[in-house]
Structure 1
């Protein structure tokens, strides 16, 4: 690693250590709320001025959107007869890898979050819900690992890391007592959420930098004229400039982070809860729209090339530490915010 990488790692590590040391050793622990359906203790206190009807409406809206869009995305990405002209490719070091696996994981991510949201509606967030909540975070880890491995699964270690993540997170989430169990689960989730946004942002910037002003990277939509009695022909807008469609991933992951920040910092606020649910209603349609574009659009001259960022050891450590700093900073801010 270069001197600059070592210096960056040292500085970010110092910031992380200072953050950890700044957490109060003693603090007022709020009383846990209970699930209205099961009576299980939840990982949050009673929400002040909470309108149950509004909360259910937002929750059911997000569940409906994720269920429908998750199904459609899985259908789009698992088509065996998908034309090669619609397939994007990750490009790094002269090697192109189709984005097929990445798109399938994004689709599964949407659908698994749909399952986790149903479990939340029935159980509320807590130890029992975490069994399903892990599915959401597990797919985020899987997507990050695939991006790190240039768009593919290189070895069986992928499944080992996934299994270890599920085992460790499940054990700690179950074994720890309130509020440490909820804090632990929230922090590990924020780490993956921030890493998600950081990686998607790096991919967009790297692709834009490498493509430069290459106008051949434009993506036309299907514009074939409609044919009578042919249900496969539809009207679409004409073009989207590549790599602008990647901004859907950046924006979606950022909105997801904002929703989680609101729900983490203002844990007993009804408004924060509504923002959290609305973030899901926005994030996953954006991800689904990206999947739609990537499976229904073709480049004018060849494949849509997506350049992956540097995955050297130094860069990976820096990005990981940044995700940890941002996650712990989010939780640290929560200790400054009094109950609503």
Structure 2
């Protein structure tokens, strides 16, 4: 019965992928004409944007960079100066495996901080060189950070120093994406980079949601509920910190951050000709990554009603890895498919138009 459930999950994810691929049949989009980027003169991946305004773009970019700078600074400060009070240290536990050794979330928070920094660098590079082959040299590290976070969450919350395969795989991924984006002609280079990046974006939403639901279930109904409640009863009330969170609600910050990030990508993918959609994409970063930084703050500076903050990582056997990976690919292709419109339409037919108001 269990094996049937495993096969059904993989089959449904494959079915979703096939249905999305079939939706591309009959679509013959017109490839958008590239325009030179204003600083470098190189052809950009982006078409001419309707309603484009240099002044508005520079204002939005400056605000974005300032927001990301502050988020990066505080995220690194908090992540690399963890508290000494054990009550403030959150620990990862493996759901369903009581014998598994727990690990502190310090490495995960540091990976999250590095993710914010690499996104800042990618955003700054995007402003100076524009979206294109040159930008991939920096933008790939944004995606690599997402890859590290996903592997970390699937490995008990940390990358084992004894692992001899992870870092070569990461290096191989960076090398392959960089080389292929350099060699592929437009628009295949842009679609390839966009597609593989969206896979990680969707996978993060899925994983953060799974972790939140698993932790919520384990704290309320799991085996750990009894011993945690016993520790609460035996603990002196005077030892509680003044700042208390309703653990594990802080995990919602990770979910909301990943959702805002993917929403910005979806809006600009669908309305690829609209300058206002590009602004929405830019401003989504100003929301998503401060949420990630705030999560790091809460993880290290706030206690909970429990004597120990625990995050339970869901079990992820090979069949679940396959199902999540295939479904993430399907969602990535679906996002790109929405940007192509429907059969008989041209590339990016849904154009978000905003006419200036007459006073």
Which residue pairs with 2:47 in the alignment?
45
Matches within 5 A, 1:217-296: 223=242, 238-296=243-301
Which residue pairs with 2:147 in the alignment?
141
Residue 128 of structure 1 pairs with residue 134 of structure 2: yes
Larger displacement relative to structure 2 (209-218 or 9-18): 209-218
Per the TM alignment, residue 221 of structure 1 is displaced from its structure 2 partner at its CA by 9.2
Residue 6 of structure 1 pairs with residue 12 of structure 2: no
Residue 338 of structure 1 pairs with residue 349 of structure 2: yes
SS at match of 2:102: strand
TM-score computed with the length of structure 1 as normaliser: 0.90
- 2:71 & 2:6 partners in 1: Cα distance? 41
Which residue pairs with 1:183 in the alignment?
191
Matches within 5 A, 1:131-210: 131-154=137-160, 155-210=163-218
Which residue pairs with 1:30 in the alignment?
32
Larger displacement relative to structure 2 (263-272 or 15-24): 15-24
Task: Verify the 8 A CA contact 2:270 2:350 in the aligned structure 1.
Answer: no
- Call closer, same or farther: CA 1:111–1:82 in 2, change over 3 Å: farther
SS at match of 2:288: helix
- 2:273 & 2:79 partners in 1: Cα distance? 39
Larger displacement relative to structure 2 (32-41 or 241-250): 32-41
Which residue pairs with 1:74 in the alignment?
76
Say how many residue pairs are matched: 325
Deviation readout 1:162-182 (Å, 9 max, x if unpaired): 111101111111111011110
Structure 2 unaligned residues grouped into runs of 5+: 233-238, 342-347, 352-359
Per the TM alignment, residue 51 of structure 1 is displaced from its structure 2 partner at its CA by 2.1
Find 2:122's aligned residue among 116, 126, 131.
116
Task: Verify the 8 A CA contact 2:143 2:200 in the aligned structure 1.
Answer: yes
Larger displacement relative to structure 2 (16-25 or 184-193): 16-25
- Call closer, same or farther: CA 1:97–1:44 in 2, change over 3 Å: same
Which residue pairs with 1:58 in the alignment?
60
Task: Verify the 8 A CA contact 2:244 2:304 in the aligned structure 1.
Answer: no
Per the TM alignment, residue 299 of structure 1 is displaced from its structure 2 partner at its CA by 3.4
Which residue pairs with 2:345 in the alignment?
none
Task: Verify the 8 A CA contact 2:90 2:308 in the aligned structure 1.
Answer: yes
Per the TM alignment, residue 80 of structure 1 is displaced from its structure 2 partner at its CA by 6.0
> What's the Cα RMSD here?
2.0
Find 2:102's aligned residue among 96, 101, 105.
96
Larger displacement relative to structure 2 (58-67 or 173-182): 58-67
Residue 329 of structure 1 pairs with residue 329 of structure 2: no
Deviation readout 1:278-324 (Å, 9 max, x if unpaired): 11000001001000000111234422000001211111111111111
- 1:2 & 1:35 partners in 2: Cα distance? 53
- 1:194 & 1:167 partners in 2: Cα distance? 22
- Call closer, same or farther: CA 1:2–1:49 in 2, change over 3 Å: same
SS at match of 1:306: strand
Larger displacement relative to structure 2 (196-205 or 315-324): 315-324
- 2:6 & 2:339 partners in 1: Cα distance? 31
- 2:132 & 2:259 partners in 1: Cα distance? 25
Per the TM alignment, residue 18 of structure 1 is displaced from its structure 2 partner at its CA by 3.1
- 2:54 & 2:240 partners in 1: Cα distance? 42
Task: Verify the 8 A CA contact 1:62 1:280 in the aligned structure 2.
Answer: yes
- Call closer, same or farther: CA 1:302–1:221 in 2, change over 3 Å: closer
SS at match of 1:128: helix
- Call closer, same or farther: CA 1:194–1:274 in 2, change over 3 Å: same
Task: Verify the 8 A CA contact 2:16 2:327 in the aligned structure 1.
Answer: no
